[in-house]
Chains A and B, each alone.
Chain A
Amino acid sequence: MPLRHWLAAFEPIADDAAVRPLRVGAEDWRRLAEDVAASGGRLLALWGQDATAGRPAVFAAYQTAAGLWIAELVCDAPAVADDPYPGLQDLYPFAGRMQRAIRDLHGLRSTDPDHRPWLRHAPGEAYEFVRVEGDGVHEIPVGPVHAGIIEPGHFRFSVVGEKVLRLEQRLGFAHKGIERRFLEFAALDGSRLAARVSGDSAVAYSWAYCIALESQWGVRIPRRAQWLRALALELERIANHLGDLGALGNDAGFAFGLTQFSRLKEQVLRATEHALGQRYAMDWVVPGGVSRELPPDAATALDRCLAEVGAESVVLRGIYEEHAGVRDRFTGTGAIAPDLAARLGLTGLAGRASGQVQDLRRDLRFPPYEELRPAIGGAVSGDVAARVAVRFDELLESCRLGRRILAQLPGGDLRVAVVAPAPAAFGVGAVEGWRGPVLVALATAAGGRIRRCHPHDPSWQNWPALEHAVIDNIVPDFPLINKSFNLSYSGHDL
């Protein structure tokens, strides 16, 4: 069925209006998923709710050429146990884990075969890893406590000699009940928690949260606030790319890279602190706008910093590209070819490095990006070198965008007053964070309370793809491959 058929039934998602999800039955739930996939659309997020949020239901957020769509499959409580809803894993392979998480958190079961727990770890309960058998195959278990300064998670490698035959991830160690915790926040205060879903993407999450809230409450924020939010988002992208480019050099045995890039990152963080009040802008984006005015000299200082970081990064890029050892480690390592990336639904910067050139800043055209028109690049080799190249491109483009925002920053108010309207409502916000598309779905209740909030991290899509990226690589290259994706545990584990 062509997608047009569904368009008639959907209400398009507008900037300043609440969203009414398209309510579908089990059959249409499947057909819609098939039609979106056939039209080249993608599944952005899949989440559930139980009776505590009204009634049990499963939601899907799709992005198509026509925009962002939300579908809701109502699961009547008595039928839940013996009548599972149709799974989507064959169409969107990453959906399997989301469905397992829905079962852990809300008890709703899909028709897909894998029902192992995902986010919920019962104490003492054994997890059934897939066993690889054959001559000389052995397993290497890693984590949940990792050797470096990173988040907790478990990796099970099946290897022959040095070669990885299979990697299986076991996540959920950072599961701290964020979705339930949202219910204890007033909707106006929820951006604080949203910012901490994944600390490295604080601006992306708090902005997506605020769009979800402001759209359903009919709040129009000042133009100046939109531009300042974009400034913070680009600074977040710059800081993370700098950090990862340094760490990637280090993982390739080139400590010089770490030293240089971590120095540049520190410069950006300090300039950010001076301008926005925090090194990591955790509480900068708030409902109605942004939290404070830039100090008088901040724009000049920030502009100088971005100019310098951009220029230094060009020099460092040249050094990375000319360094034989670094090139040898980056090239061909952890590759995901474009056709596999499309099938796996690889997203964000990793997707763009494998030929999946999508970016919400361009594709959803939300303000101020429809004016800023960021250049969205990509690569096709899909290896560590491609992800490094995409990071360099995006780093330089974000420096340019940041400087343009500073030069053309509109005047006016920073923030408008936000008052909770009486009726319950639902809204969705989606922002392209540095890692990929971040989506927040928010249902508010009368009195400005949160009825249900689901923050979605692009890591859900990319963690399973990482399992593919390491196949046939050697174990010592895993840290390098892993860092080139740098996925979030906390944003995924919730």
Chain B
Amino acid sequence: MLKTLRQIQRTGIVTEPVPAPDPTLRIRAVLEQRILGILGRALAIRMVDAGSCNGCELEVNALTNPIYNIEGLGVHFVASPRHADLLLVSGPVTTAMRDPLLRVYEATPDPKLVVAIGDCGRDGGVFGCGGPSLGAVANVIPVDVVVPGCPPSPNRLLAGILAALDASAALDVRQEGGGRAE
């Protein structure tokens, strides 16, 4: 026990500052304002791997390490879509995961946000779209924000999640004429 406490004391606090939300990742100009009003920054995320190579999951897991400390921001991962405000989905979506993904989406209470992650979540990436790969997450469920990368770094993921959340950034995007069209 003493060793454990000494190690904790020696390690200290290693959490780094939060990256700014990146509104350019948003593909829907108008977000669910209701969500933002209700939540502020307390957010429950359900992660769904819809067929990835597992690289994206490694970086999503890194968000919970003490350096990115996503829970310190009030954002936490939940075990059921029924508890979630936001779905974080990696791709490419496989044919076998199409129905499970749709069911998760339906089970998530409204209003809800969807962030597609990785080059594969964006457009199928290196796996393309064809045969058992349905490609982009947006081919199966509506997507609000896309965070490309192979895999996207934890900071990019955080910037994307915060972009989905940050009401003021949403206003900025609208004033500038909106993000990319869906």
Contact = CB atoms under 8 A, between A and B. Distances in A.
Are A and B physically bound partners? yes
A488 B150 CA distance: 18
Interface string A110-151: 000000000011010000000000000000000011011111
Interface string A8-52: 000000000000000000000000000000000000000000000
Given A173-B96, A193-B127, A316-B7, 11 more contacts: A145-B100, A149-B57, A149-B77, A152-B50, A174-B94, A174-B96, A184-B128, A197-B53, A256-B4, A269-B62, A279-B153
B54 A152 contact: no
B150 A282 contact: yes
B14 A174 contact: no
Contact of B97 (A152, A181, A263): A152
B55 A149 contact: no
B151 to A, nearest CB: 7
- The 10 nearest A-B residue pairs measured at CB: A199-B55, A262-B65, A147-B79, A177-B131, A199-B53, A121-B96, A176-B133, A196-B53, A177-B132, A173-B96
Contacts of A322: 3
A319 interface: yes
Given A144-B100, A145-B48, A243 B3 contact: no
9 contacts: A121-B95, A123-B95, A148-B77, A149-B47, A150-B57, A173-B97, A175-B96, A177-B131, A259-B65
A318 B3 CA distance: 9
Residue with the highest number of chain A CB atoms closer than 10 Å, among B100, B104, B132, B153: B132
B80 interface: yes
The A interface is mostly helix, strand or loop, or mixed, namely loop
Interface in B37-56: 47-56
Contacts of B132: 120, 175-177
A266 B67 contact: yes
Residue with the highest number of chain B CB atoms closer than 10 Å, among A152, A174, A176, A202: A176
Residue with the highest number of chain A CB atoms closer than 10 Å, among B49, B64, B96: B96
A280 interface: yes
B126 interface: yes
A280 B58 contact: yes
A266 B100 contact: no
B181 interface: no
B7 A176 contact: no
Interface string B63-90: 0111100000000010111000000000
Contacts, number: 144
B100 A173 contact: yes
B99 A266 contact: no
Interface string B116-139: 000000000111101111000000
A196 B56 CA distance: 11
Classify chain A's interface size. Answer: 35 or more
Contacts of A252: none
B14 A263 contact: yes
B92 interface: yes
B162 interface: no
Contact of B62 (A152, A173, A192, A266): A266
Interface of A: 120-121, 123, 144-145, 147-152, 172-178, 180-181, 184, 192-193, 196-200, 202, 243, 256, 259-260, 262-263, 265-266, 269, 279-280, 282, 315-316, 318-319, 322-323, 488-490
A183 B125 CA distance: 16
A142 to B, nearest CB: 11
Given A152-B97, A175-B94, A192-B126, A260 B11 contact: yes
A316 B57 CA distance: 25
B55 A174 contact: no
B61 interface: yes
Contacts of A263: 11, 14, 65-67
Given A174-B52, A175-B132, A199-B54, A193 B94 contact: no
B74 to A, nearest CB: 18
Contact of A488 (B54, B60, B125, B127): B54
A184 B153 CA distance: 28
Given A196-B127, A260-B11, A243 B61 contact: yes
Contacts of B127: 176-178, 181, 193, 196
